[in-house]
Structure 1
Amino acid sequence: MIRKLILGMTISAALLMQGCGSTLNAEQTAGHQTFPKQYSPASIGDLAALPDIEVIDGVTYVEGILVVNKEIPLPRDYNPGLQQEVIDAYSRMFADGAGRGLDFVLVSDFRSYDYQAGLYNNYVARDGREEADKFSAKPGHSEHQTGLAIDVGSSDSATTLSVKFGETPEYQWMKDAAHEYGFIIRYLEGKEDITGYQYEPWHLRYVGDEAEAIYESGLTLEEYLGIE
């Protein structure tokens, strides 16, 4: 709890100093368990290992990696579009996959704050806020707004973003190859209490050279950066 408290105070103070201003159907989301965030208490000895956090124009970087999640937001006017390095990386991955007989489809990429607001509000109207919060980010809290996240599927799963994508040959290759292109599977199975979101085999986050180390660790981004 000490780590969590100090992390929150650090980010809040930095934000003040900076003056910061997928589509699922009802059948797929029905009956999902809740994912309350869980935190392990930290001892005083852990304080020296707190991560390096920097907030620039309202955007939070932890150990040099841009982070946005349920606790850490982006400014409403943060609007970078899909980053070129992400386009280059997924294009290489899709091409290499095609050479192995795999058929990848890009389902979703950059989303603005306002687009995410409309998407989230539609889910709330359809499923209720508690249910929507399990699979959809509130505006300002979506990784898609970073321009560093994409949703991918195979030709037979692209329109539904079903967890069944995790059973396809495309995913079975991608889960052990995505890091070679700078991506991580962001919302891992069994880590819902850390990320706050359901398992999403389709959601890739670009982190560049750090991807291999995160992949090898088997940890979520929060755990790897020490902000869980």
Structure 2
Amino acid sequence: MKFLDQFKQKNKKFYIKWTVIGMSAIMAALAALWLYINDWDAQQSMNALVETVTVEEPATEAPKEQVTKVPESPEVVEEPTEEKPVIEEPVEETVTDATVYSEKALPKEPTIINGILLANKQHPLPETYAPGEVPEAHAAFEAMKAEAAKVGINLNAFSTYRNFARQKQLYESYVAKDGQQAADRYSARPGYSEHQTGLSFDIGESGQEQHWASASFGDTEGGKWLAVNAHNYGFILRYPEGKEKITGYMHESWHFRYVGKDVATQIYEKGITLEEYLGVN
């Protein structure tokens, strides 16, 4: 056993010696190889060796600025508003009956619209209004009468201007005869008569007196001529047939009102009344 321990100790030294010698040889060989690679330049070899073993530290990047992201507001989706159907309530139409008299007291001034004097059951005249027969209207009638005479028609204005007192007398006589309800259809109460304006003419044909102030006048030659020619002289048929609810009075084929040629022509061509032309009831 002692012999064996001595042999192992001796061989251990032998192994260590040759191991050192082998490592040295290997190092020398590597050094020679390194010098050979660098053209046997010792300084160049050392520099290359340093560069090889030097570990390049990674460049330090500047810290990125931290951006705080603001959360987006959730999109608000508007819910469609349900449209409720609009229910229109029926509007009661107010119909003014022009045959009914105004209950207001007589005014202090007459009603003039667009330069035209208006007198009806809703627009009365002052009791003191007394212009007489208007000269312009009288001249227009005379010119119309002269023209009608050329075709053998002899016109006669049998009733023109009437003042308040005269109209009061006539109206009361009609009421006594036919009653107020009937009288109100064909005769005006005092203060409401167009004859008080001095612009209205009750016209008949001489020799045809039986048709004066009668619906039958419209069937005579004089009545027919006036119906199609009066506007040329500034007159209109004041109370046409079928317009009682607008004018307030029954049809009177003999009652003409002076309004001037231009207005009379427009009313005639449109087939309307004075109230409709002025836009009033």
TM over 0.5: yes
Work out which of the residue numbers 168, 192, 195 in structure 2 matches 1:117: 168
C-alpha change, 1:150 and 1:109, in structure 2 (3 Å) is same
Could you tell me which residue of structure 1 aligns to residue 214 of structure 2?
Answer: 162
Could you tell me which residue of structure 1 aligns to residue 192 of structure 2?
Answer: 141
Q: CA deviation at 1:210?
A: 1.1
Q: Which has the larger radius of gyration?
A: 2
Could you tell me which residue of structure 2 aligns to residue 152 of structure 1?
Answer: 203
What is the CA deviation profile of residues 24-51 of structure 1, one whole-angstrom value per residue up to 9, with x for unaligned ones?
A: xxxxxxxxxxxxxxxxxxxxxxxxxxxx
Alignment of 1:1-228 (within 5 A): 20-21=107-108, 58-158=109-209, 160-208=212-260, 209-228=262-281
Does structure 2 retain, via aligned residues, the 8 Å contact 1:90–1:181?
Answer: yes
Amino acid of the structure 2 residue aligned with 1:125: A
Structure with the bigger percentage of strand: 1
What is the CA deviation profile of residues 173-204 of structure 1, one whole-angstrom value per residue up to 9, with x for unaligned ones?
A: 11111011000000001111211211101101
Identity of aligned residues (%): 47
Amino acid of the structure 2 residue aligned with 1:165: F
Does structure 2 retain, via aligned residues, the 8 Å contact 1:107–1:158?
Answer: no
C-alpha change, 1:132 and 1:157, in structure 2 (3 Å) is farther
Q: CA deviation at 1:157?
A: 3.7
Select the structure with the greater relative contact order (CA < 8 A; seq sep ≥ 6).
Answer: 1
Give the distance between the partners of 1:103 and 1:145, measured in 2 at CA: 25
Q: CA deviation at 1:155?
A: 1.9
Extract unaligned runs of 5+ from structure 1. Answer: 5-11, 22-57
Q: CA deviation at 1:20?
A: 3.9
SS of match in other structure, 1:176: helix
C-alpha change, 1:219 and 1:107, in structure 2 (3 Å) is same
Give the distance between the partners of 1:75 and 1:138, measured in 2 at CA: 12
In the TM superposition, structure 1's runs of 4+ consecutive aligned residues that sit over 6 Å from their partners are none
Q: How many residues align?
A: 180
TM score, norm. by length of structure 2: 0.61
Q: CA deviation at 1:105?
A: 1.2
TM score, norm. by length of structure 1: 0.75
SS of match in other structure, 1:211: helix
Give the distance between the partners of 2:242 and 2:187, measured in 1 at CA: 18
Q: Give the aligned CA root-mean-square deviation in angstroms.
A: 1.9
SS of match in other structure, 1:144: helix
Does structure 1 retain, via aligned residues, the 8 Å contact 2:235–2:256?
Answer: yes
Does structure 2 retain, via aligned residues, the 8 Å contact 1:189–1:199?
Answer: yes
Does structure 1 retain, via aligned residues, the 8 Å contact 2:107–2:124?
Answer: no
Give the distance between the partners of 2:224 and 2:149, measured in 1 at CA: 14
SS of match in other structure, 1:61: strand
